[in-house]
A and B are shown apart, each in its own frame.
Chain A
């Protein structure tokens, strides 16, 4: 079933909308949630919440890109859940590593960096991503959006882990430069 048909099911308030969504995007959303949360039960709860959020959002929303729409919901829910849980209690997969890496984009003492509270960096990040070559952009998002491990990324792109690390290192450096240039940090 294509996305247009699935969205029509939501608009008709058909109960099969969620079943069709789960059939088509369940694996994708579980993959995103499990990379952030690691605990299987939490990841499943996240995915189920995603379907409920989608049900409540469509209509009036009519996503142009249903995969991205659902992925964003799942990722956000997973990060919310992660923040509520302590790392020692549940185990938190790649996220602590990702946060350490992203802290390098900020001045020394990353947590205390003077990022304006609630500042929306999305526009800057879109411009940063748009300026990157395709492969760099994909590697960067596989790491910091999809929360893949270095090893998984290396296998996906058929490159060495050191090459993945180098791509990410350079990309983070460029992001930091852009943030400095625009006086975000």
Chain B
């Protein structure tokens, strides 16, 4: 069907008119509210207090969601919301990595609040269309598209039952449909998911942008926490924004010279140093695979091991040969770090699009290791194909990989068998079977539908239905809070075990990545050092999410003299850049210390939000033993020399003549005890009780002692 015919089939359910207005110092000063149950569209003002306390991005998302739901709201209740917000710095073109959107919702995986970040143009175009956030509540009766026309000042809910659901087709169609002409395509961005988001709990969202050089629509993913599942549960097919033409001053920054200076300085750094540092411009984040393998932290076979002889097959070179036009792969204007790689005309070998040549966005490191090494698969073409289908079906590659790896270990241990999997031989390394599970997820049938429940629910199911040993599944099921682990092996870094466990949303590395500081460079040896790092870095990284920024240009490129600074891990010069960007846009005058305080406010609020939903205490910060140490004899013996040495030197236990089982037990006791001590130290540093609850004095210090927040916390004090 032609695009014109498809458009004719859209039926207008509601329309709202507004005056697009002007962004001032990074803020549009209003948010857009869309209720799909009532077909109601409205705008809400943004108060000064909201800006001071919540800044923007994830902060605005959390604030709006808090107001929209209660402690009893379930993820699939109509009152659950999806909020997309960019943040005050988002949309500047001068500094790399300034086009991120943050998405907040109640997660079907964790049953509490989730946030996920994503590139693409949607957030910035939304703001320049007049809104600091888009808040969607309710459920539509039929599939709908929400279209925000920031040029003409209209918002419409359109019924669109005929539109396809899979993203790679839908984003092309909608970009064509809603752009005024070819030149206008860069001003259109689409949010969509895919067929598998309807049948699993690990659905994600694709955010599009038009790639002028490739003349194709590209997609970036808000992967974590199942927000795509919420999206389809609300019967949303797509959100479309059409914004104004982008210029360098659409944020009307208070002092643009600060942005110009910081940006040009970083562009120069990238131009001169990227090639000798991470070669992001050539290979994106795929450079990480080799490093992780070299340091024994590349998850292999469900996080049993940290390296594999075949890992070279999926190192960056294996993908660079597929990437084309690599010099300008920014997911927003001005990102010269250019990590958003793409593969043109990849011929698919499986599934409904078999034989077609498609454009594949990525793969990035997390996908390479997630659908690859952690499942014992070292075939680049499998990884590319899986990446494509995960994207178009709306599946988070990280959760998919970690789930498959768990299933493979269960299969190899006889917990599940061919009868249960519907004939699939789910041994580690079987890419063909894993692909079939993915296609089943999209079709909503067979074992794929079961796999899509996620590791937490699978553990329960296997215990209840198949008599599996619950203790073993708790040890090897790589999830915390219901969210699957992202793809780094934290066994040998206590700080990173905390970096995953002591998070608000679950084990995702965007809060803290401390493995090198801790394990490789030994820069944070004491509990207090680790606690300080687990305070500072999560707060610092949270700040990106408040402002619409990407983390990568902070430390995936560093100034030539960074090593000689007082605190190289913080990249002090880049921290100052961020202070300048914030002050340059908003006209405020914050310091680098204020930056941390801004994050603390939102971070503590999010912790209280977890408490409000019935989670958030110490027990929810506990991690599976697989992330702390060797669960099985096979694991221990694969690194016996390392573990024996630790028993001798750290535990004071002589391993000589002991069985592996005895040694595992002693090491486990030691490591579990270390983790509890870490929890104590971190909670203390964060101003929380031993039960991980923010103290009243902490909330007061931060000015976050709103009555309804205090009411929640008091129940736990």
| Same complex origin of A and B | no
Residue numbers of A with Cβ under 8 A of B are none
